[in-house]
A and B are shown apart, each in its own frame.
Chain A
Amino acid sequence: DAKTTQPNSMESNEEEPVHLPCNHSTISGTDYIHWYRQLPSQGPEYVIHGLTSNVNNRMASLAIAEDRKSSTLILHRATLRDAAVYYCILRDALLSYNTDKLIFGTGTRLQVFP
């Protein structure tokens, strides 16, 4: 699987937008970009994923660069509950339909201040 690079930590104030970057310069054409987050004392939870086009859901938006070598997870209005470690992961959708092995890095620790 291709590698991703994320900043170790970021800070935000409550109710401000947060842009979490991820670089994946060796991404292949069939790699999906996944984002998960892990709240303190919990298992990771799925946030969003996409292939080429920008994606929106109730939790966040995913903006994918035109060359796909980077992406940005956007939290539109950060809350204290969004303080977590955010993981950006690539996964080749064609590699193995059933035996899917998401490889997690160390992620970005987001702090949100009141």
Chain B
Amino acid sequence: DVKVTQSSRYLVKRTGEKVFLECVQDMDHENMFWYRQDPGLGLRLIYFSYDVKMKEKGDIPEGYSVSREKKERFSLILESASTNQTSMYLCASSYRVLGANVLTFGAGSRLTVL
């Protein structure tokens, strides 16, 4: 089975801190994604990457950046955390099945910014 591992399940940070969320996948997938999930808003795409050192903005990239130096690792960076970035963050990678890309998600990282 494909595994997507997020380094931290729970984090508590202070406003203004720099935050790194790490994600690793073990199946050599090219595409990786970062979503955030908030009650009533569903999952919203922050950034995605379709190759090493390549990145594309999703629907809500403001306040975030990403890094993909190796194929298996995709990091989400909050340069200066704010309280409105308190959320569940979900990483995913995708693979091709029967003509369509299928996502495999990690368990999520719940970030609280005080």
Question: B-contacting residues of A (Cβ < 8 Å)?
Answer: 32, 34, 36, 41-46, 49, 51, 87, 91, 93, 98-107
Secondary structure class of chain A's binding surface, majority of residues: loop
Secondary structure class of chain B's binding surface, majority of residues: strand
Are B45 and A103 touching (Cβ within 8 A)?
yes
Query: B97-113: which residues lie under 8 A (CB-CB) from chain A?
Result: 97-108
Of the candidates A43, A101, A107, which one forms a contact with B58 in the assembled complex, judged by CB atoms under 8 Å apart? Answer: A101
With A43-B108, A104-B42, A104-B43 given, is the CB distance from A99 to B50 under 8 Å? yes
Question: A-contacting residues of B (Cβ < 8 Å)?
Answer: 4, 30-31, 33, 35, 40-43, 45, 48, 50-51, 56, 58-59, 90, 92, 94, 97-108
Are B100 and A34 touching (Cβ within 8 A)?
yes
Are B99 and A32 touching (Cβ within 8 A)?
yes
In the assembled complex, which residues on chain A have CB atoms less than 8 Å from the CB atom of B100? 32, 34, 49, 91, 93
**A9, chain B: closest CB distance, angstroms:** 14
Question: What CA separation (Å) do A68 and B55 show in the bound complex?
Answer: 34
Of the candidates A49, A98, A104, which one forms a contact with B102 in the assembled complex, judged by CB atoms under 8 Å apart? Answer: A49
Are B105 and A45 touching (Cβ within 8 A)?
yes
| Residue in A41, A93, A100, A106 whose Cβ sees the most chain B Cβ within 10 Å | A100
In the assembled complex, which residues on chain A have CB atoms less than 8 Å from the CB atom of B31? 98-100
In the assembled complex, which residues on chain B have CB atoms less than 8 Å from the CB atom of A102? 101, 103
Are B94 and A100 touching (Cβ within 8 A)?
yes
Question: What CA separation (Å) do A92 and B9 show in the bound complex?
Answer: 32
In the assembled complex, which residues on chain B have CB atoms less than 8 Å from the CB atom of A103? 45, 59
